[in-house]
Chain A
Amino acid sequence: MSVQSGALAIAKKEHNFWRQLWRQRQLVVLSLPVLMVIVFSYVPLWGWLVAFFDYKPTSGMNVFKNDFAGFKYFIELFNDSYFWRGLKNSLGIGVLKIIFSYVFSLMLAVMINEVRINWFKRTVQTISYLPHFVSWVVAANLVFVTLSPDSGIVNELLLKLGIIDSPISFMGKPNLFWLIVALTEVWKNSGYSAIVYLSAMTSIDPSLYESADIDGAGRISKIFNITLPSIIPTIKILLVLSIGRLLSVGFEQVYVLKSPSTTETATTLEVYIYDFALKYAQYSKGSAMSIFNSLVSIVLIVGCNLLARRMDGEGIM
Chain B
Amino acid sequence: MTMRKSIAILIALMMVLAALAGCSSNPTTTPDATKAPAADPAEPGTDDPAEPAAVERDPATFSLLYMSAATTTVDPWADTPVGQYLESKTNVKLEIEYLVGSDVRQKASLLIAGNEYPDILHTADASGDFYAAGAFIPLNDYIENSTNIKNCYTNSQIKQMTQDDGNIYWFGAHASENAAYPTAGYYLNMDLLAQADYPEVKTFDQWQQLIIDYVAANPTFNGQSTIGVSEPTEAWRASAVQYGGSRFLVGFQNDGLTVVDPETLEAKIIMDQDFQKEFCKMLNTMWNLGIADPEMFMQTDEQYQAKIGSGRIAGLYDQRSMISVGLDALEANDPSRMLVAFPVVLEGVTTERYRGPRAFAGGSGIGITITCKNPDRAFQFLDDIASEELQTVLRWGVEGTDFSYGEDGSLVKTEEQWANYNNIEYKQQSGIEQMGWFYFWPGLMPFTGSGTIASPSNTPEFVALAYEDYEKEFLTHYNAETFCDWFNPSYDAMYEPGWSIRQRIDTADPRKIAGETALEITLEYVPKLAQCKTEDFDKVWDEFTGKLADLPLREYEELATQMIKDGASLYQN
User: What is the size, in residues, of chain B's interface with A at 8 Å between Cβ atoms?
Assistant: 43
Q: Which residue of A lies closest to B13 (CB)?
A: A252
Q: Which of chain B's residues have a CB closer than 8 A to the CB of A58?
A: 132-134
Contact status of A252 and B129, CB under 8 A, knowing A259-B297, A264-B524, A281-B109: no
Question: Which of A144, A166, A258 counts the most B-chain CB atoms under 10 A from its CB?
Answer: A144
Q: Which of A97-105, A232-240, A271-279 sits within the interface? A: A271-279
Q: Which of chain A's residues have a CB closer than 8 A to the CB of B523?
A: 260, 263
Instruction: Please tell me which one of the listed residues A150, A255, A283 contacts residue B295 in the complex, with CB atoms under 8 A apart.
Output: A150
B294 touching A260, Cβ below 8 Å = no
Q: Which of chain B's residues have a CB closer than 8 A to the CB of A288?
A: none
A279 touching B513, Cβ below 8 Å = no
Q: Which of chain A's residues have a CB closer than 8 A to the CB of B6?
A: 135-137, 140, 252, 255-256
Q: Which residue of A lies closest to B507 (CB)?
A: A281
A279 touching B294, Cβ below 8 Å = no
Count CB-based A-B contacts (< 8 Å): 107
Give bound CA distance, A87 to B513, whole Å: 21
Q: A57 interface residue, CB < 8 Å from B?
A: yes
Contact status of A280 and B294, CB under 8 A, knowing A56-B132, A263-B524: no
A57 touching B520, Cβ below 8 Å = no
B517 touching A276, Cβ below 8 Å = yes
B109 touching A259, Cβ below 8 Å = no
Q: A194 interface residue, CB < 8 Å from B?
A: no
Q: Which of chain A's residues have a CB closer than 8 A to the CB of B531?
A: 172, 261
Q: Which of chain B's residues have a CB closer than 8 A to the CB of A251?
A: 9
Contact status of A255 and B5, CB under 8 A, knowing A58-B133, A260-B523, A282-B513: yes
Q: B526 interface residue, CB < 8 Å from A?
A: yes
B132 touching A172, Cβ below 8 Å = no
Q: B565 interface residue, CB < 8 Å from A?
A: no
Q: Which of chain A's residues have a CB closer than 8 A to the CB of B520?
A: 275-276
Instruction: Please tell me which one of the listed residues B109, B225, B524 contacts residue A278 in the complex, with CB atoms under 8 A apart.
Output: B109
Give bound CA distance, A58 to B136, whole Å: 12
B115 touching A60, Cβ below 8 Å = yes
Q: Which of chain B's residues have a CB closer than 8 A to the CB of A262?
A: 298
Q: B103 interface residue, CB < 8 Å from A?
A: yes
Contact status of A140 and B1, CB under 8 A, knowing A276-B517, A281-B129: yes
Instruction: Please tell me which one of the listed residues A137, A172, A283 contacts residue B3 in the complex, with CB atoms under 8 A apart.
Output: A137
Interface string of B506-550 (1 = CB under 8 A from A): 011000110011001001101110010000000000000000000
Interface string of A42-55 (1 = CB under 8 A from B): 00100000000000
Q: A119 interface residue, CB < 8 Å from B?
A: no
Give bound CA distance, A275 to B523, whole Å: 12
Q: A169 interface residue, CB < 8 Å from B?
A: yes
A259 touching B5, Cβ below 8 Å = no
Q: Which of chain B's residues have a CB closer than 8 A to the CB of A171?
A: 298
Residues of B within 8 A of A (CB): 1-3, 5-7, 9-10, 20, 103, 105-106, 109, 112-113, 115, 129, 132-134, 224-225, 233, 238, 290, 293-295, 297-298, 507-508, 512-513, 516-517, 520, 523-524, 526-528, 531
**Given A257-B1, A259-B297, A261-B528; 4 other pairs, CB 8 A cutoff:** A57-B132, A172-B295, A256-B2, A281-B112
Residues of A within 8 A of B (CB): 39-40, 44, 56-58, 60, 135-137, 140-141, 144, 148-151, 166-167, 169, 171-172, 251-252, 255-264, 275-276, 278-283
**10 A-B contact pairs sorted by A residue (CB < 8 Å):** A40-B20, A56-B508, A150-B294, A255-B6, A255-B9, A260-B523, A264-B524, A276-B520, A279-B105, A280-B513
